[in-house]
Homo-oligomer: A and B are copies of this chain.
Amino acid sequence: MPNKKIEELPGKTVERLSQYRRLLFNSVELGKTNIYSHELARMMNLTPVQVRRDLMLIGYSGSQSKGYVIKDLISLIGKIIDSDTGQRIAIMGMGNLGRAITSYFTGKREKLSIVAAFDNDPQKYDRIIAGVPCYHINKLKEVVQKENIGIAILTVAPQATHEATKLMLEAGVKGILNYTSVPVSVPEGVFLEEYDIITSLEKLAFLVKK
């Protein structure tokens, strides 16, 4: 029996679904058509029961003899985590990190695309960088609305973080992924993810030193 509501999927499960799909794309390329929970589990450093529980939550059933059908699973995960019409993304701050992310990301997912970048440096705006048009921030609201952008990635200089957040919120984005070292707040109804490499390194350093 699938979850009461798909919207109530645990956050951790959503993250793993994304990662399962990433692996499943690879498996398809290698010519595999079916996969067992223990195979997925080993590749992701999880237990097989964790994998089966996640798939149970999205209402997917495998077969005892063949495991899961990879292409069906990919397609079901897509139904759950992708937006039907696709989700359009902007990069705020086309510096080293912004450029690295943009060139890494472009073309990786059918339903997610980085369609605009913003910067206040004349070396950056009014050009196409890493395949994406970069605009001056005074065009932000206009472009975000015209391009129907729902998610912003913040890679501006730290001191510009709050201004950048304010502009993006005013323009109406509903999700922010913040890579600056300055935490931001968002109002009700907007979603926020923060990531800082220093936190990951300090956590590792703590674990290593124990």
Contacts and interface: CB of A to CB of B under 8 A. Distances in A.
Interface of A: 7, 11, 14-15, 17-19, 22-23, 26, 42-45, 80-83, 87, 89, 96-97, 99-101, 103-105, 108-109, 111-112, 150-151, 153, 174-177, 181-183, 185, 191-193, 195-210
Given A11-B203, A109-B202, A195-B195, A83 B18 contact: no
A183 B104 contact: no
Classify the interface of chain A: helix, strand, loop or mixed.
helix
B177 A201 contact: yes
Stoichiometry, copies per complex: 2
Contacts of A203: 11, 14-15, 18, 81, 193
A8 B55 CA distance: 31
